Each structure stands twice: as structure tokens, then as C-alpha cells.
């Protein structure tokens, strides 16, 4: 049986080049995708907040699997957090980090 490695601290910081960030945000703001996020989150509509983060390993300090700064959105009924679809990551040429989450605000 393999031993589990407990991660105490994980650096979830990252930087996207401006053209990559712009391409990714354009996909995340696409009207069809906005409607899909709204439908799946049972909101009338949503808007992309332009907040993205890299999921982090679950730990004592990060029990929600996200940087502390983003837990306020997880705990609020006014926001929905989604995994950025892998095809969006590929289309925008985001190869590192390999996973991202995006924050949307529910409207009505």
C-alpha cells in the first residue's frame, strides 16, 4: 500500500500571458457558454467576474481545495465556481497550470 503524502503548503499562483488571458476570457464570456453556466447553476443569468484560480490540494489550510481568497465566493449563494472546460484551456493555449476554475456572479 502506498503512503499518502500530506501537502502542507502549495503555491497556486500563476501568470498568464496577456494574449492567452484575453483568449481564455473571451471563451469564458461567450454568450452560449454564459447561458449554459446560468442554466446549470439555476440562475436567470450569470456574468464572468474575470476571477480565475488554480485548484489546490485539500489540506488543513485549504479545506475547500482553493486558495483562501476564493472561499468567500464558494460560501456565497451569489456566485458559482466552475472548472474551466479543458477544450477552452486548449483553445486559449493554457498549458500551465493544467486546471483552472472561474468565478461567475449570479444575476437574478
For the chain (length 108 residues), average pLDDT per consecutive 10? 52 82 98 97 96 89 88 96 97 94 94
**Residue 94, domain member (yes or no):** yes
Q: Quote the pTM value.
A: 0.85
- Nearest Cα to Cα of residue 12 among 50, 60, 46, 62: 62
**Residue 23, domain member (yes or no):** yes
Q: Among positive and negative, which fits the CA dihedral 73, 77, 79, 84?
A: positive
In this predicted structure, what is the pLDDT of residue 14? 79
Which domain range does residue 24 map to?
Answer: 18-107
**Residue 37, domain member (yes or no):** yes
**Residue 12, domain member (yes or no):** no
**Residue 5, domain member (yes or no):** no
**Residue 13, domain member (yes or no):** no
**Domains in the chain: how many in total?**
1
**Residue 48, domain member (yes or no):** yes
For the stretch 55-77, pLDDT in tens is 988 888 888 889 989 999 999 99
Amino acid at each position: 500500500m502506498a503512503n499518502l503524502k500530506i501537502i502542507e503548503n502549495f503555491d497556486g499562483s500563476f501568470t498568464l500571458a496577456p494574449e492567452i488571458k484575453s483568449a481564455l476570457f473571451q471563451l469564458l464570456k461567450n454568450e452560449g457558454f454564459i447561458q449554459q453556466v446560468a442554466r446549470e447553476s439555476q440562475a436567470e443569468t450569470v456574468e464572468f467576474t474575470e476571477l480565475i484560480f488554480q485548484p489546490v490540494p485539500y489540506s488543513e489550510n485549504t479545506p475547500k481545495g482553493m486558495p483562501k481568497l476564493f472561499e468567500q465566493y464558494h460560501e456565497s449563494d451569489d456566485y458559482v465556481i466552475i472548472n474551466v472546460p479543458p477544450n477552452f484551456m486548449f483553445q486559449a493555449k493554457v498549458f500551465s497550470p493544467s486546471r483552472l476554475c472561474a468565478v461567475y456572479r449570479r444575476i437574478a
